A and B are shown apart, each in its own frame.
Chain A
Amino acid sequence: TQLLEQSPQFLSIQEGENLTVYCNSSSVFSSLQWYRQEPGEGPVLLVTVVTGGEVKKLKRLTFQFGDARKDSSLHITAAQPGDTGLYLCAAIRSYNTDKLIFGTGTRLQVFP
C-alpha cells in the first residue's frame, strides 16, 4: 500500500492546455515537496510547502498544500513541451522520522 497516491498516473496533453496533478494520503505530513524528473536524470526539487492551506507559485506552476496537510495539488497553466517529465510528490511524516516518502508519480507528456 502506497502512503502517497498520485493521480492521474499518466497525462498526455497539447501545448497550451491546463492540468492539475493530485497527491493524496490518509496521513498527516509535516511538509510536502514536489519534484520533476526527466529521462536519464535524478529528480529536481520544485517547491516545498509546510503550512496547511499554503499556496506557492513558480511561474506557470501553482502548488497547494491541503488545509489538513494530508494532500497537495500541482496546477500547470498553459503547459509547454518543456514541462514534460515525471512529477513526484514527496512528504516528511514527522521531523522525528525525518525521511522522504515519495508518491507514485505522474508522467506528463506535452505535445507541441
Chain B
Amino acid sequence: GNSVTQMEGPVTLSEEAFLTINCTYTATGYPSLFWYVQYPGEGLQLLLKATKADDKGSNKGFEATYRKETTSFHLEKGSVQVSDSAVYFCALSPGGYQKVTFGTGTKLQVIP
C-alpha cells in the first residue's frame, strides 16, 4: 500500500532561518504529492502541490520538488517567520477519488 514518511518533530528554528522538512513516499503508479499546513486551532489548508515528476510546487515562500528517483517531496523555505509556526503534513493521492495518505505531521515552532 501507499505510505508517507515525514521527519520527526518538533522542529524549532529562529526567525529567518532556513527550513527543510523531509518527506519520502512509497506508492505505485504516479501519485500527486501535497503539503498541507494546520495552524493552531484550525483545519488543514493546502500549502502546495505537484502532480508529476520534477514539478515544483510553491506558495508563500515555501517550495517542494517532486523527485521520483528518490521518492521524495521535501518542503523548504529560505527564511521562516514566527507566523509559519504550525504543523505541516505531507500527503499523496493516487487520484481518481482514491484515499489520500498522510504523513504523521511535523510541528514547526519559530521563535523570534
| A is bound by B | no
